[in-house]
């Protein structure tokens, strides 16, 4: 890799930054994408994790598989070569 961080480090940094955004006991953080920008010396990464589904609809007409308790969301982060989070962005998959 081009910087001092490896993929495992990037995931740990992201999980630490994002852990307060979920109330799920095991949010299952996943590193979905990682790209190093040699010019800016920053990692641009996409991380997904589970959160409570706040749009649950429980009616007799709902198909059970469409009323899941959790949903996976995605966030984009920029991490510099000192392993500091420089930005957190909304990411639509």
Q: What pLDDT sits at residue 69?
A: 87
Residues of the chain below pLDDT 50: 1
In this structure, the number of other CB atoms found within 10 A of the CB of residue 64 comes to 7
Asked if residues 37 and 44 have their Cβ atoms less than 8 Å apart, the reply is yes
Q: What pLDDT sits at residue 62?
A: 61
How far, in whole angstroms, is CA 42 from its chain's centroid? 17
Residues 6+ apart with CB under 8 A from 91: 46, 74, 75, 76
Q: What pLDDT sits at residue 1?
A: 44
């Amino acid at each position: 890799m081009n910087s001092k961080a490896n993929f495992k480090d990037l995931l740990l940094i992201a999980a630490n930054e994002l852990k307060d955004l979920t109330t799920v006991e095991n949010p299952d953080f996943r590193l979905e994408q990682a790209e190093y920008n040699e010019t800016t010396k920053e990692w641009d990464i996409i991380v997904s994790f589970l959160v409570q589904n706040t749009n649950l609809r429980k009616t007799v007409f709902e198909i059970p598989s469409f009323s899941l308790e959790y949903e996976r969301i995605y966030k984009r982060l920029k991490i510099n070569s000192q392993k500091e989070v420089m930005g957190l962005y909304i990411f639509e998959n």
